Amino acid sequence: MATETHAKLLLQKQLKELYRNAVEGFSAGLVDENNIFEWKVTIIGPVDTIYEGGVFDVVMTFPPNYPNSPPEVRFTSEMWHPNVYTDGRVCISILHAPGDDPHGYEKASERWLPVHTVTTIILSVISMLSSPNVESPANVDAAIEWRERRHAFRKKVARIVRRSQEML
């Protein structure tokens, strides 16, 4: 129970900090005021990327032992990206359980560390939009299209960006 209390206090502190000092590129708040463990984040597609101008919703679900374990980060807006599963879950190294990678792809230092905050996580997701890792894709079809049919990939993303703007 002590770890859950610690997680609540830390998340409340991070939320207050984001309200006080907004970070360019996204905004965050709670899905439900009574649940500090579930956040809704709106990401603005980064400038000079094919996602520019898009408005994408993400839900972050934090475990009771946060920050010892990473949150799950999932796009609830439509997303086409090699590092986003078809169900919207984001697959980047810093969201993988701490310690050594059982598959040997990632160093322990690239995986989850308790020093990460909501801000560093979301900035990593925004960075992922700019530069996908197609060597270890979550969405194999998107990775193949990115590598072999870049024009088709760009057209699909342009449609998603347009639809995201129409939802406003």
pLDDT > 70? residue 9? yes
Q: Which has the closest alpha carbon to 33: 18, 10, 15, 56?
A: 15
Expressed in percent and rounded to 5, the helix, strand and coil fractions of the chain are 40, 15, 45
Catalytic residue among 91, 92, 125, 128: 91
CATH code linked to domain 2-166:
3.10.110.10
3-state secondary structure of 142: helix
Q: Is 136 a catalytic residue?
A: no
Model confidence over 68-119: pLDDT tens digits?
999 999 999 999 999 999 999 999 999 998 888 887 778 888 889 899 999 9
Provide the residue ranges of all domains of the chain, joining segments of one domain with +: 2-166
